[in-house]
């Protein structure tokens, strides 16, 4: 038919089925040495200044800011040119201009860039791990899992772009030739968080790019280095100039300007509820000259619970609570910040949780022996300490609760028992290593407590009762529900990730419908003889 030129050419290369990237085994001496070498390499580059990249042009500005090591706050990891409103507007206009040609790039070519980027990221894996260890205080294991997930996003979304480019099933009508195409939207703004600075940043950027959009990446200021190095990697992978712009700067200034611009077509965001709602509000307000309704793809956090009933494997439940609550210092939107325990096992599970948490090591994560590192910055440190003070008036302090007398933003695992389900530390997202434990008289009350916040991201149930498992499947209102396992650690392609209510728009990152958010469907019908 006349429009077949829109369809990308078929590739003759067979793409292997997607599999998740294996994690690095840090018990092997060669991997330990490789990670230590990458840390030293990064140390030798400390203090380097990275420019803005607008439409392929590198720009340095008089105004700059730094990314610092939260374990040693005076240590500058990198410096960055600081964008303002003027640069934000220029970036959108340049991206819009570049989109006029990029949108017609065949899906096979776009996917090829992501496959190449995945290959390069595997080669630079230890360096990207090192960046996260220094820039946001991730442990070796947490940083490596973050990089592995980033590789998964590149591999998975490349395959999804190829799948969406295939002929789509339609009901056939005699006398007509009908086709459905998924075409890109336009200029997208990617605003990733600092807590998964590799995986989510790369996922937000690569999904929009491989769908045929141009992208402006506005990184979190506390995790701008890894974003700068990823933009370099994309350039090395052959992504054409101007397709991705790099625009570090303050969210309230640069972010707002990007969201409000009439040529911005969509915003992809992961972060706090407050910022997400602001983006949603700004995006919903049409600007002079705007021709479309902007899309806002939002993931905004959670107040996640693990429920344990009297039939559960209590050792497994306690281990899952500790891993989910204190991995990466509790700075995950999926972290278990609430444990809801059946009355008959409350004392036993609480004791096990406290004993396990007491064994966790806290310190500089350049030392692989440390399980927990610092929280990300001074603002986070102060906020968490304020919640700990609130918790002392709402529950019984069982562990931690006092700041560590050392340099850096270190907070030990902190656990409160006998916390009412309506307490502030049971309702508000703390985003730190603070766990509230609540007693429930029966399963009905436990389920009601699990659902009593404004969030709905992740949750878990530990139970051997099949009827309760089935009931939780129906009634535990979260986007990602886990049975008899921890509530963190979603894997691309396995656990499409996104939540309900104030946790966001349930955009399932790493799922088979995710790229549809960055495309629009065009139906073309031609009458034939």
Active site residue ranges: 299, 333
Following CA atoms 68, 69, 73, 76 in sequence, which dihedral angle do they give, to the nearest 10 degrees?
-40
| Length reported for the chain | 529
Residues 6+ apart with CB under 8 A from 263: 92, 93, 95, 96, 186, 187, 290
Q: Determine how many CB atoms are found less than 10 A away from the CB of residue 436.
A: 30
The residue to which tokens 């309506």 are assigned: 422
> CA 98 to CA 446: how far, in whole Å?
53
The residue to which tokens 């407050």 are assigned: 274
Tokens of 85: 């409103």
Q: What CA–CA distances, in Å, run from 118 to 141, 157, 170?
A: 19, 11, 34
Q: Determine how many CB atoms are found less than 10 A away from the CB of residue 526.
A: 12
Tokens of 315: 């050792």
Contact 326, 372 (CB under 8 A): yes
| Among candidate residues 500, 512, 151, the one with its CA nearest the CA of residue 299 | 500
| Among candidate residues 153, 115, 116, 148, the one with its CA nearest the CA of residue 132 | 148
What are the start-end ranges of the E strands in 224-335? 244-246, 264-270, 295-299, 304-308
CA atoms lying within 13 Å on the CB side of residue 351: 4
- Determine how β-strand 480-483 pairs with β-strand 458-462: parallel
| Among candidate residues 242, 247, 146, 235, the one with its CA nearest the CA of residue 197 | 146
Tokens of 194: 């600092």
| 3 state DSSP class of 64 | strand
Contact 304, 458 (CB under 8 A): yes
| Among candidate residues 63, 58, 67, the one with its CA nearest the CA of residue 81 | 63
| 3 state DSSP class of 515 | helix
| Among candidate residues 509, 513, 518, 514, the one with its CA nearest the CA of residue 185 | 518
């Amino acid at each position: 038919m006349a429009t077949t030129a829109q369809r990308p050419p078929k590739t003759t290369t067979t793409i292997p089925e997607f599999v998740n990237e294996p994690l690095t085994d840090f018990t092997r001496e060669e991997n330990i040495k490789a990670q230590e070498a990458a840390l030293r390499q990064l140390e030798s580059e400390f203090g380097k200044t990275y420019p803005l990249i607008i439409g392929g042009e590198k720009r340095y500005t008089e105004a700059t800011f730094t990314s610092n090591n939260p374990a040693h706050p005076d240590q500058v990891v990198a410096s960055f040119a600081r964008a303002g409103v003027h640069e934000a507007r220029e970036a959108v206009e340049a991206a819009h201009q570049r989109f006029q040609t990029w949108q017609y790039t065949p899906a096979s070519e776009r996917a090829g860039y992501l496959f190449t980027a995945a290959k390069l990221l595997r080669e630079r894996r230890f360096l990207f791990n090192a960046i996260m260890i220094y820039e946001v205080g991730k442990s070796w294991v947490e940083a490596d899992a973050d990089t592995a997930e980033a590789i998964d996003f590149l591999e998975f979304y490349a395959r999804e772009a190829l799948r969406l480019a295939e002929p789509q099933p339609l009901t056939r009508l005699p006398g007509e030739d009908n086709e459905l195409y998924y075409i890109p939207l336009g200029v997208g703004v990617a605003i990733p968080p600092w807590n998964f600075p590799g995986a989510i940043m790369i996922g937000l950027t690569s999904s929009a790019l491989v769908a045929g959009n141009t992208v402006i990446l506005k990184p979190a200021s506390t995790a701008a280095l890894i974003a700068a190095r990823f933009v370099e990697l994309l350039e090395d992978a052959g992504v054409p100039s101007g397709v991705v712009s790099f625009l570090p700067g303050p969210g309230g200034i640069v972010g707002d300007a990007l969201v409000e611009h009439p040529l911005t077509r969509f915003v992809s965001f992961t972060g706090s509820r407050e910022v997400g709602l602001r983006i949603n509000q700004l995006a919903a307000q049409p600007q002079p000259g705007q021709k479309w309704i902007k899309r806002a793809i939002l993931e905004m956090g959670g107040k996640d619970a693990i429920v344990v009933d009297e039939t559960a494997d209590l050792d497994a439940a306690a281990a899952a609570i500790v891993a989910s609550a204190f991995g990466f210092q509790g700075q995950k939107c999926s972290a278990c910040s609430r444990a809801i325990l059946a009355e008959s096992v409350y004392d036993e599970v609480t004791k096990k949780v406290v004993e396990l948490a007491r064994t966790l090591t806290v310190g500089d994560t350049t030392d692989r022996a440390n399980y927990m590192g610092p929280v990300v910055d001074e603002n986070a440190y102060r906020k968490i300490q304020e919640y700990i003070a609130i918790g002392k008036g709402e529950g019984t302090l069982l562990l931690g609760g006092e700041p560590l007398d050392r340099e850096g933003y270190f907070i030990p695992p902190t656990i409160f028992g006998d916390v009412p389900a309506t307490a502030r530390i049971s309702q508000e997202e703390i985003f730190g290593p603070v766990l509230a434990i609540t007693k429930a008289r029966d399963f009905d009350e436990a389920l009601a407590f699990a659902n009593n916040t404004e969030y709905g991201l992740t949750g878990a149930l530990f139970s051997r009762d099949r009827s309760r498992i089935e009931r939780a499947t129906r009634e535990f209102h979260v986007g990602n529900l886990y049975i008899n396992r921890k509530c963190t650690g979603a894997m691309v392609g396995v656990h499409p990730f996104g939540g309900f209510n104030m946790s966001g728009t349930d955009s399932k990152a790493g799922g088979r419908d995710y790229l549809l958010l960055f495309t629009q469907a065009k139906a073309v019908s031609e009458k034939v003889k």
